[in-house]
């Protein structure tokens, strides 16, 4: 077999696998998303049963590897690849331009520029490394209520008029599972619908941080900067992660200034208000609050019922009103838990469609959800403090004091951690019960979080304390 033949075999294989994979996707949205990523491929090589797909950006390579490698493996098998073929996506640092070079001029190595389809049906949208937007996260699917009406109105305002000073940046904060990501992506979806050529970038602050570190290591700062400064709308989810990187904050600050100066829209979400991000630079915080800050709170009964109704519309259109009411009555902590309970009902009646959904029956199948809610409701911060004091042999007074002796700091911070992660209490309530500032609580929580990663003994104590409340570590609220 000569080299040309090998080349053709390898690219054909990839093209076939790609076609098979694309044909399995449910809708145009997913297909164009995947095609968008596949268009970043610069070359392919097959060496010793390893099919390496080179990608023009590091982010693209990482994203393809994480999101598509496993799924494509099956398509590759179906396309006739050898069973032992391994598929991997790699960043090709040399392919900043469209000119593709062969990988290695070895006889057994083959490389070929991937042919892009000659005439693409869709208009070419400039590629930005954005995470995909969830297509159901739209304004239409979002149920308004008093707990979220301001955040909703602000998000709508941004979608109608991006870049307008009074909404720029928009900062949405609130507890886990209350709809922050949904609302942020609804802005992206709406803008994309209205103006397909608009470059919208959605990512988490963690992704931004990782990309920044990569750019530093690979000396790719310039293209990193160019990329983020050339977009129209920047949606950064979970901005609290930015606290992890001091240097990256500087870069974000510059990007932020550059974009707002050009009247480009920025939207951010966080689990706490901007003022409660202690490890974030002051100047960033003052920028964040310079636009509009809105909070989403836990929904009340009426809103919970309306959300359940909306979610059931597609899943179980025939669900009795009494079942929705039972769910709204019993599951209150966050919308994600409500969706989980609804899914449980769905599965149960799919298996047994004639089953009557009595209160007794619902109580049994939703036992886990309801128990969790009740425990969350029952658990007071005082109980947590008392339990910890007993375990460590210290007094409540010592826990509430400002004494920084090491033997007091750990139990104090552990109690803060449990209060924050295993109850629905707000930061304000926790701070009041510990007689401390918000920042002190958050610092305590972060410290324990880090220590738990490496300290088995501390994890053991946490499990014991939680166990006394009939809880386990995995019951965390987020």
- From candidates 33, 181, 207, 323, binder to Mg ion by CB under 5 A: 181
Q: Which residues pair with 44 in a beta bridge?
A: 53, 112
Question: Among 178, 140, 145, which Cα is nearest to 159's?
Answer: 140
Distance (Å, whole) CA 186 – CA 184: 5
> Residue 336 binds which entry of Mg ion, ligand ADP, none, with Cβ cut-offs from 5 to 8 Å by kind?
ligand ADP
How many residues contact Mg ion, by CB under 5 A? 2
Element (H, E) at 202: strand 200-204
| Residue 351 C-beta: closest distance to Mg ion, Å | 31
> What are the CB-based long-range contacts (under 8 Å, 24+) for 81-88?
81/13, 81/17, 81/51, 82/49, 84/49, 85/49, 85/50, 85/51, 86/49, 86/50, 86/51, 87/51, 87/53, 88/50, 88/51, 88/52, 88/53
Could you tell me which stretch among 62-70, 176-184, 193-201, 368-376 binds Mg ion (CB under 5 A)?
A: 176-184
> Residue 63 binds which entry of Mg ion, ligand ADP, none, with Cβ cut-offs from 5 to 8 Å by kind?
none
The CA-CA-CA angle for residues 366, 371, 372, to 5°, reads 105
> Residue 29 binds which entry of ligand ADP, Mg ion, none, with Cβ cut-offs from 5 to 8 Å by kind?
none
Could you tell me which stretch among 181-189, 296-304, 312-320, 459-467 binds Mg ion (CB under 5 A)?
A: 181-189
DSSP secondary structure letter of residue 132: P
| Residue 478 C-beta: closest distance to ligand ADP, Å | 8
Residue closest to ligand ADP when measured from CB atoms: 179
Could you tell me which stretch among 54-62, 81-89, 174-182, 442-450 binds Mg ion (CB under 5 A)?
A: 174-182
Structure tokens at 158: 């941004």
Q: Which is nearer to ligand ADP, 231 or 307 (CB)?
A: 307
Q: Which is nearer to ligand ADP, 258 or 297 (CB)?
A: 297
| Residue 36 C-beta: closest distance to ligand ADP, Å | 23
Burial (CB count within 10 angstroms: exposed 0-12, middle 13-18, buried 19+), residue 27: exposed
* Greatest pairwise CA separation for the chain in angstroms: 82
| Residue 204 C-beta: closest distance to Mg ion, Å | 8
Residue closest to Mg ion when measured from CB atoms: 181
Q: Contact positions toward ligand ADP, by CB under 6 A?
A: 141-143, 148, 176-182, 307, 310, 335-336, 339
Could you tell me which stretch among 179-187, 271-279, 361-369, 418-426 binds Mg ion (CB under 5 A)?
A: 179-187
Element (H, E) at 256: helix 246-261
| Residue 240 C-beta: closest distance to Mg ion, Å | 11
Q: Which is nearer to Mg ion, 60 or 179 (CB)?
A: 179
| Residue 239 C-beta: closest distance to Mg ion, Å | 11
> Residue 91 binds which entry of Mg ion, ligand ADP, none, with Cβ cut-offs from 5 to 8 Å by kind?
none
Q: Which is nearer to Mg ion, 7 or 190 (CB)?
A: 190
Per rule CB under 5 A, is residue 303 in the interface with Mg ion?
no
| Residue 267 C-beta: closest distance to Mg ion, Å | 12
The sign one gets for the Cα dihedral 426, 430, 436, 439 is negative
Q: Are strands 170-174 and 265-270 parallel, antiparallel or unpaired?
A: parallel
Q: Which is nearer to ligand ADP, 143 or 233 (CB)?
A: 143
> Residue 287 binds which entry of Mg ion, ligand ADP, none, with Cβ cut-offs from 5 to 8 Å by kind?
none
Q: Which is nearer to ligand ADP, 41 or 335 (CB)?
A: 335
Q: Which is nearer to Mg ion, 87 or 268 (CB)?
A: 268
Q: Who's near 370: CB < 8 A, 6+ residues apart?
A: 330, 331, 363
Could you tell me which stretch among 39-47, 80-88, 172-180, 447-455 binds Mg ion (CB under 5 A)?
A: 172-180
> Residue 176 binds which entry of ligand ADP, Mg ion, none, with Cβ cut-offs from 5 to 8 Å by kind?
ligand ADP
> Residue 272 binds which entry of ligand ADP, Mg ion, none, with Cβ cut-offs from 5 to 8 Å by kind?
none
Distances (CA, A) of 249 to 53, 100, 146: 33, 35, 34
Q: Which is nearer to Mg ion, 33 or 181 (CB)?
A: 181
Is 229 within 8 Å of 130 (Cβ atoms)?
Answer: no
DSSP secondary structure letter of residue 131: P
Q: Which is nearer to Mg ion, 180 or 287 (CB)?
A: 180
Question: Among 469, 299, 442, 272, which Cα is nearest to 376's?
Answer: 469
Structure tokens at 27: 């809708």
| Residue 435 C-beta: closest distance to ligand ADP, Å | 29
| Residue 292 C-beta: closest distance to ligand ADP, Å | 17
DSSP 314-369: HH-TT--HHHHHHHHHH--S-HHHHHHHHHHHHHHHHH-TT----HHHHHHHTHHH
| Residue 96 C-beta: closest distance to ligand ADP, Å | 35
| Residue 175 C-beta: closest distance to ligand ADP, Å | 7
> What are the CB-based long-range contacts (under 8 Å, 24+) for 323-327?
323/357, 323/362, 326/359, 326/362, 327/362, 327/366
Is 264 within 8 Å of 232 (Cβ atoms)?
Answer: yes
- Residues lying near Mg ion in the complex (CB under 5 A): 180-181
């Amino acid at each position: 077999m000569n080299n040309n033949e090998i080349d053709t075999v390898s690219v054909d294989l990839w093209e076939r696998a790609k076609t098979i994979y694309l044909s399995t996707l449910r809708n145009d949205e997913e297909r164009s998303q995947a095609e968008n990523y596949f268009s970043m491929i610069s070359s392919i090589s097959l060496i010793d049963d390893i099919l390496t797909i080179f990608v023009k950006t590091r982010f693209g390579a990482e994203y393809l590897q994480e999101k598509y490698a496993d799924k494509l493996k099956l398509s590759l098998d179906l396309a006739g690849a050898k069973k032992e073929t391994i598929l991997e996506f790699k960043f090709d640092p040399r392919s900043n331009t469209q000119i593709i070079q062969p990988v290695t001029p070895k006889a057994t190595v083959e490389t070929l520029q991937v042919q892009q389809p000659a005439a693409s049906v869709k208009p070419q949208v400039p590629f930005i490394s954005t995470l995909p937007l969830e297509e159901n996260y739209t304004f239409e699917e979002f149920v308004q209520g008093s707990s979220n009406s301001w955040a909703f109105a602000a998000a709508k305002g941004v979608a109608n008029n991006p870049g307008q000073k009074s909404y720029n940046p928009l900062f949405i904060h609130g507890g886990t599972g209350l709809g922050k990501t949904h609302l942020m992506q609804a802005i992206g979806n709406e803008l994309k619908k209205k103006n397909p050529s608009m470059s919208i970038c959605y990512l988490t602050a963690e992704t931004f941080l990782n990309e920044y570190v990569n750019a530093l290591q690979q000396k790719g700062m310039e293209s990193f900067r160019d990329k983020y400064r050339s977009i129209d709308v920047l949606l950064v989810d979970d901005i609290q992660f930015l606290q992890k990187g001091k240097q990256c904050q500087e870069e974000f600050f510059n990007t932020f200034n550059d974009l707002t100066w050009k009247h480009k829209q920025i939207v951010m979400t966080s689990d706490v208000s901007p003022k409660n991000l202690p490890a974030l630079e002051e100047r960033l915080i003052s920028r964040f609050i310079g636009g509009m800050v809105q909070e989403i709170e836990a929904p009340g009964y009426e809103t919970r019922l309306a959300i359940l109704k909306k979610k059931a519309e597609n899943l179980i259109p025939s669900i009795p009103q009494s079942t929705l009411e039972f769910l709204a009555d019993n599951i209150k902590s966050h919308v994600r838990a409500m969706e989980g309970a609804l899914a449980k009902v769905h599965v149960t009646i799919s298996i047994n469609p004639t089953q009557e959904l009595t209160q007794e029956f619902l109580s049994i199948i939703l036992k886990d959800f309801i128990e969790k809610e009740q425990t969350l409701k029952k658990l007071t911060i005082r109980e947590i403090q008392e339990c910890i004091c007993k375990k460590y042999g210290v007094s409540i007074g010592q826990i509430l004091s400002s004494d920084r002796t090491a033997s007091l700091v750990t139990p104090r911070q552990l109690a803060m951690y449990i209060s924050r992660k295993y109850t629905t209490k707000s930061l304000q309530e926790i701070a009041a019960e510990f007689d401390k500032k918000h920042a002190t609580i958050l610092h305590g929580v972060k410290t324990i979080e880090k220590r738990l990663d490496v300290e088995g003994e501390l994890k053991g104590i946490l499990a014991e304390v939680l166990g006394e409340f009939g809880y386990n570590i995995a019951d965390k609220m987020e």
